[in-house]
Amino acid sequence: MTTEDMATETEADDDTDSLVTSDPGKGGLSENDDRGTVMAADTIVESRDLDVFYGETQALQNIDLAIPENQVTAMIGPSGCGKSTFLRCINRMNDLIDICRVDGELTFNGKNVYDEDVDPVALRRRIGMVFQHPNPFPKSIYDNVAYGLRTQDKTENMDAVIEESLKKAALWDEVKDQLDKSALNLSGGQQQRLCIARAIAVDPEVILMDEPASALDPIATSKIEDLIEELAEEYTVVIVTHNMQQAARISDKTAVFLTGGELVEFDDTDKIFENPESQRVEDYITGKFG
Amino acid sequence: MSNEGRTPDLTRDRGLQTVRESTYKYALAGCAVLSVLTTVGIIGVLFVDAAEFFASPAVTFGEFFTSTRFSPNLEPVSFGIFPLLLGTLLVTFGAALVALPIGLLTAIYLSEYASQRTRSVLKPMLEVLAGVPTVVYGYFALVYITPALNVVIGGVNGALGTQFPTLGLFNGLSASIVVGIMIIPMVSSISEDAMSSVPDSLRQAGYGLGATKFNVSLRIVVPAAISGIASSFILAISRAIGETMAVVLAAGSRPPDIPPTQSAFGLLPYVAPGDLLALYSDSAATMTVAMINIAVSDLSGGSLAYQSLFAIGLTLFVITLAMNVISDAIANRYREEYE
Ligand SMILES: Nc1ncnc2c1ncn2[C@@H]1O[C@H](COP(=O)(O)OP(=O)(O)OP(=O)(O)O)[C@@H](O)[C@H]1O
Ligand SMILES: [Mg+2]
């Protein structure tokens, strides 16, 4: 089966302005959607009263959060407080978990992604994801980056796009002579940068990162951090991290979740780290609790 | 000395343990040696009798592989293995055509699409399919598949004016289908194991890039599991090559006739595809079937027909050995693909 055949599987227009597979007349999604007026002009992802359940247990409660465009938003909080769960809500990766149920609203460019007519595949083409553990495909370095492009039928100028993505991910110089070698021969840090290159190659609007540096050594971590700051010039980055210093260093906004799945405080990163409103947040940040 | 009291203890324990350990070791090694010896013995017998066969003045090595007639009992005797190879090839190829696609698609369905519940019903059913005695499959082909195929062929010929030949009582087509059905579970279960062991993180990476389920299955999971899938194919094909009971009942005991060869540009001999296809409508005994026939016919040890049994057996052994070597090579080649 050829790439072309595959692409017909879903609507694959790269300039698609809609997440909707059927009935394009209703609920179209565009930058200047009417509903945009009720939110800050630069909010790209916003949750309202979001509850998430795994079976009977509730993992997130009443989350209201507005993520600004082209900035780095960090999510911190103790283990199990629902950070990853929230991240997976944004691109509907939770759909892959049978027992997971989402209530409430989560909008992307003003469109509720949990509306009936939203195609999660189309959504994920605009919201990329980088995982905690590097997960390159057992293919060549080139094919790893090419996979998303082929899947989304963006094969025009593929070589150039791949080179540019690898450059943006600060990996090009290290791999340019071995693009046809297996990605599994790269070091962990290189693999993670490859995964970032793979995610940005398809030119999403938002990149979700779930503890992208937790499996890496300090040098690789600092490379990834530099990279994230650069990415924020073009993309909206939402990053989950356990590393407070990392959140303080690289993010513009910080959301603090605490045990039980509640969002306790969400504000400018400086404010959160220097002068948080909530005593619980202060305790958590200073290490008294968590 | 301070540790004087403990030393004897240590020594005694170790002595006892050494005896016990070496007993285990030799017992286990004995079992291993036994199975190796059995295998070596069988291969040895194959070689010795096959060598006697080829040493006989009545048959030559060249004739064995090139003669187009196999008739070990009827005068004038002839021992061309070629018709039997052709029979094996026909049935194996047909069976592979049935089993590889269906088995692989079944595996993809089970591993990627089926819910836990569907899987827990379907997998045991496939295992039952694998456990049915092969003679039952053969009988099924003879009594049900062949008549059903004839109805279909008659219908198609009537409707489209085509001239497909009616199938004989014994025919290669029904044998191919039934052997194919028989080896589907082998393909699907080994392939499914290989696909299920592809780490979920790879699927997530695919979905995260906006891939559809079908794309993830075909472009990520199948390539990542390719060594297991290839092994399943080769094992299933080996099984088809070696299958006997189902084939003897479905395809009969007469080897296929060698079709006439045409020659392209007066140089390359080839067989017209239509002539090859036509072979499926008639009896198509395979190497294994020929061996059964020789074994059950009234023959005395040491006779030429008896020895030809081992020559065919040796050929079969070489073929399946080669298949296993290929399968291992493929598995090794891709082993480090994901880890
Ligand atoms: N697939 C799942 N099935 C059932 N429960 C889950 C699943 N994933 C997460 N949970 C539960 O949801 C809650 C939040 O989990 P989540 O993974 O979002 O936490 P987290 O903040 O990312 O934690 P960590 O920092 O350890 O990654 C936890 O109580 C967890 O047990
Ligand atoms: Mg997490």
The pLDDT tens digits for B155-208 are 999 999 888 888 989 999 999 999 999 999 999 999 999 999 999 999 999 999
Residue contact A96–B207, C-beta within 8 A = yes
Mean pLDDT computed over every residue of chain B: 88
Helix-, strand-, coil-residue percentages of chain A, each rounded to 5: 35, 25, 40
The CATH number assigned to the domain holding A101 equals 3.40.50.300
B192-201 pLDDT, tens digit per residue, is 999 999 999 9
CA of A87 relative to ligand 1 center, distance in Å: 11
Dist CA A233 CA A235 (whole Å):
6
Q: Which residue has the higher pLDDT, A40 or B309?
A: B309
Our answer on whether the CB atom of A241 is closer than 6 Å to any ligand 1 atom is no
Residue contact B209–A199, C-beta within 8 A = yes
Quick check: is A144 in a domain?
Answer: yes
Residues 6+ apart with CB under 8 A from A193: A169, A170, A171, A223, A224, A227
Q: Answer whether residue B17 shows pLDDT above 50.
A: yes
Q: What is the reported pLDDT for B1?
A: 47
Quick check: is A248 in a domain?
Answer: yes
Q: Answer whether residue A122 shows pLDDT above 50.
A: yes
Contacts of A128 in chain B (CB under 8 A): 208-209
Residue among A95, A126, A131 nearest A210 (CA) = A131
Task: Ligand 1 pocket test: pick from A56, A83, A102 the residue with the most ligand atoms within 8 Å of its Cβ.
Answer: A83
Task: Ligand 1 pocket test: pick from A51, A53, A54, A102 the residue with the most ligand atoms within 8 Å of its Cβ.
Answer: A54
- What are the two backbone dihedrals, phi and then psi, of residue A74, each rounded to the nearest 5 degrees? -100, 150
β-pairing, B261-264 vs B78-79, is unpaired
- What are the two backbone dihedrals, phi and then psi, of residue B70, each rounded to the nearest 5 degrees? -120, 105
What number of CA atoms fall less than 13 Å from residue A9's CA on the CB side? Answer: 23
Q: Answer whether residue A90 shows pLDDT above 90.
A: yes
Confidence of residue A215 (pLDDT cuts 50, 70, 90): confident
Q: Which ligand is the nearest neighbour of the Cα of A60?
A: 1
pTM: 0.83
Structurally, chain A folds into a number of domains equal to 1
Q: Answer whether residue A36 shows pLDDT above 80.
A: no
Share of chain B above pLDDT 90, in %: 55
**Could you identify the atom of ligand 1 that is nearest to the CA of residue A242?**
25
- Range of lowest pLDDT (A174-183, B5-14, B211-220, B293-302): B5-14
Contact A202, B209 (CB under 8 A): yes
What number of CA atoms fall less than 13 Å from residue B291's CA on the CB side? Answer: 20
Q: Is A217 left (phi over 0), alpha (psi -120 to 50) or beta?
A: beta
Q: Tell me the ipTM for this assembly.
A: 0.84
Give the fold, CATH level 3, of B56-337: MetI-like fold (1.10.3720)
A270 to chain B, minimum CA–CA distance in Å? 31
B72-121 pLDDT, tens digit per residue, is 877 778 888 889 999 999 999 999 999 999 999 999 999 999 998 999 99
Q: What is the reported pLDDT for B61?
A: 81
Residue among B278, B268, B327, B307 nearest B72 (CA) = B307
Q: Please report, for chain B, the start and end positions of each structural domain, with discontinuous segments joined by +.
A: 56-337
Confidence of residue B12 (pLDDT cuts 50, 70, 90): low
The angle at the Cα of B218, spanning B216 to B219, to the nearest 5 degrees, equals 65
**A172 CB within 8 Å of a chain B CB:** no
Quick check: is A154 in a domain?
Answer: yes
Calculate the CA dihedral of residues A8, B202, A165, A1 and round it to 10 degrees: -30
Residues 6+ apart with CB under 8 A from A7: A151, A152, A153
Q: Answer whether residue A286 shows pLDDT above 90.
A: no
Quick check: is A23 in a domain?
Answer: no
Mean pLDDT over residues A159-170, rounded? 93
CA of B321 relative to ligand 1 center, distance in Å: 50
- Range of lowest pLDDT (A76-90, A160-174, B264-278): B264-278
Domain that holds residue A139: 3-17+42-285
Dist CA A73 CA A231 (whole Å):
12
Q: What is the reported pLDDT for B190?
A: 93
B334 to chain A, minimum CA–CA distance in Å? 10
Ligand 1, atom 2, lies closest to the CA of A54
Mean pLDDT computed over every residue of chain A: 85
Q: Answer whether residue A45 shows pLDDT above 50.
A: yes
B276-315 pLDDT, tens digit per residue, is 888 898 888 999 999 988 888 866 766 888 888 899 999 9
Q: What is the reported pLDDT for B71?
A: 83
Quick check: is A243 in a domain?
Answer: yes
Ligand 1, atom 6, lies closest to the CA of A54
Dist CA B166 CA A112 (whole Å):
62
Contacts of A124 in chain B (CB under 8 A): 207-210
Quick check: is A127 in a domain?
Answer: yes
Confidence of residue A6 (pLDDT cuts 50, 70, 90): very low
Q: Answer whether residue B10 shows pLDDT above 60.
A: no
Query: What's the token pair of residue A164?
Result: 């540019």
Residue contact A9–B215, C-beta within 8 A = yes
Share of chain B above pLDDT 70, in %: 92
Q: Answer whether residue A69 shows pLDDT above 60.
A: yes
- Find the DSSP H helices in A8-152: 83-90, 120-124, 141-151
Q: What is the reported pLDDT for A39?
A: 40
